Structure 1
């Protein structure tokens, strides 16, 4: 079997790591010759020809070469389907899809330009204005009225969302096989700073209704592979989908400590193999290593707390995901306490300033 992954970042690297027990020829396309996944995966000599050779094509990120994805879809090889990738390329289209299939989201409106966005935000009183494309890890998001000056002059269509008072954020990572079999990993509770995930833990308790919401998203386009769905739980009791990620996801990195991670199950699903249900699963916390190079990490102390995963990126920059730490424990409370200790070790007294030194740009 030949699997071709579009995008060569850390997600593709971990897919490659976790596919070693599967008889698969694993290749990756990324225009960056130093992309992390090239440490493990083959690099095709002709990116388009590799689509023709592959048994299945998938992607590790939304901002990949769309022409390769379209070619794979035409040949019936792209998993998950192209429709999910196209929806994810626009926050507005993502919101419209959720509305169409009856999945609750933050109340939102479409604005033709920044002037209209300001008017809509004024009518809401307090709002988020978001650039529809290219946004991830908190990029392209502005709070009104606090950041009104940054909203003025933004080009093109914009998404305006009502400000919601959030009690907590959590996510569901699910895998769906080609035959419709679905497996839900235990929910994770997530902690963000300026839109970027800093740490999380699993399992956590969530309302049963969220599983129905995820099922609707999976069935809409007959999804194949792993998907992450991020939720807000508002203080008024509403449970709202914040966004979807039609791929393996940062909030599911903790699953590497199980015997069937999100990365392995994604590879299995897109190749048409049966899903594996994890048989070994302990309470686990994950801490992102953001903007800190290997030379500055207290590695020995972190390894006493858990297991370090390093992504081999050439340069450490503010907010850049350089690696992560997974911590297993006898209870969620113990895992969370050790995660907070890890945050102090990694970032010291400067946390979160060290991590968030630069404001995300549009």
Structure 2
């Protein structure tokens, strides 16, 4: 079985780790010769030829070459289907997709340029203005009016969302097989700084409607593989979908501590294999290592608390995901306490500087 993965970042790397236990020839296409997944997978030079040679093609990230993905779709090899990738290419398309499925989101409007965005945001009082393309980890989004300078002068369409007072953020990671079987990992509660995930823990509680919204999303075009859906719980009780990630996802990295992670089940699903229901630890937490080189980590102290995963990226920069730490515990309270200790060990006085956006960016 030959798999071609479009994108060679840490998600492809972790997929490759899990593929080592399955009879999969793991091939990666990424223009960046230093991409982490090349430490494990075989590098494809010509992506279109690699599509022809593969049995299945998948992607680890949204910002991949759409034409290669479209070619794989034409050959009947792309999983999940192309529609989900195209939706993620634009925050505006993603919001329209949710509306078409009657899935509640933060109230939003399309603005034709920055001046209209300002008028709409002023009408909302307090708003979040987002550049539609290329947005992840808090990039390209600005709180109005405090960060209005960030999008001033932008000439294309913008997404303007009403600012919602949020009680908590949680996510559901699920996997859907070709036969329609859907498995949900336990919900995770997530903690962000300036739009980037810093740590999370599982399990937490999620209302029944959240599961229903995920079912609607994956059934729309018969999704195959692992998917993550992020939610807001507003202080007024509303459950709102924030975004869909049609791939393996950072909020599910803790599943590496089970015997069937999100990465393994993604591979099983795209090859038409049976989804595994994993044995789950009582509680687990995950802490992202952001903006730090390996040499700066207190490795011994971290390993006394959890398991360190390293992504082998060439350069450490603020906000860049360099690795993560998974913590298994007997209770959610213990997992959260250990996660806070890990945060202190990793960042110390540099928190939250290493996870804040550069001014105006």
Q: Which residue does the alignment assign to 1:252? A: 252
**Is 1:229 the counterpart of 2:229 in the alignment?**
yes
Residue 67 of structure 1, CA deviation: 1.3
Q: Give, in whole Å, the separation in 2 of the partners of 1:309 and 1:282.
A: 21
Q: 1:354 is paired with a residue of what secondary structure?
A: helix
**Is 1:282 the counterpart of 2:282 in the alignment?**
yes
Q: Which residue does the alignment assign to 1:55? A: 55
Q: Give, in whole Å, the separation in 2 of the partners of 1:272 and 1:218.
A: 16
Alpha carbons of 1:10 and 1:360: their partners in 2 closer, same or farther (altered >3 Å)? farther
Instruction: Kindly indicate whether the alpha-carbon contact (under 8 Å) linking 1:139 and 1:360 is maintained by their aligned counterparts in 2.
Output: no
Q: Could you tell which deviates more after superposition, 44-53 or 247-256?
A: 44-53
Q: Which residue does the alignment assign to 2:308? A: 308
TM-score by structure 1 length? Answer: 0.98
Q: Give, in whole Å, the separation in 2 of the partners of 1:301 and 1:183.
A: 35
Cα deviation code 1:19-52 (max 9, x no counterpart): 1111111100011111100000011242211101
TM-score by structure 2 length? Answer: 0.99
Residue 206 of structure 1, CA deviation: 1.3
Q: Which residue does the alignment assign to 1:110? A: 110
Q: Give, in whole Å, the separation in 1 of the partners of 2:138 and 2:280.
A: 33
Q: Give, in whole Å, the separation in 2 of the partners of 1:202 and 1:45.
A: 39
**Is 1:42 the counterpart of 2:30 in the alignment?**
no
Instruction: Kindly indicate whether the alpha-carbon contact (under 8 Å) linking 1:202 and 1:285 is maintained by their aligned counterparts in 2.
Output: yes
Structure 2 unaligned regions, length at least 5: none
Q: Give, in whole Å, the separation in 2 of the partners of 1:73 and 1:10.
A: 24
Instruction: Kindly indicate whether the alpha-carbon contact (under 8 Å) linking 1:138 and 1:360 is maintained by their aligned counterparts in 2.
Output: no
Structure 1 unaligned regions, length at least 5: none
RMSD between aligned residues: 0.9
Q: Could you tell which deviates more after superposition, 352-361 or 278-287?
A: 352-361
Q: 1:348 is paired with a residue of what secondary structure?
A: helix
Q: Give, in whole Å, the separation in 2 of the partners of 1:280 and 1:109.
A: 41
Count of residues paired in the alignment: 361
Alignment of 1:201-240 (within 5 A): 201-240=201-240
Q: Give, in whole Å, the separation in 2 of the partners of 1:80 and 1:354.
A: 34
Cα deviation code 1:128-176 (max 9, x no counterpart): 0000001110000011111122232122000000000000000000000
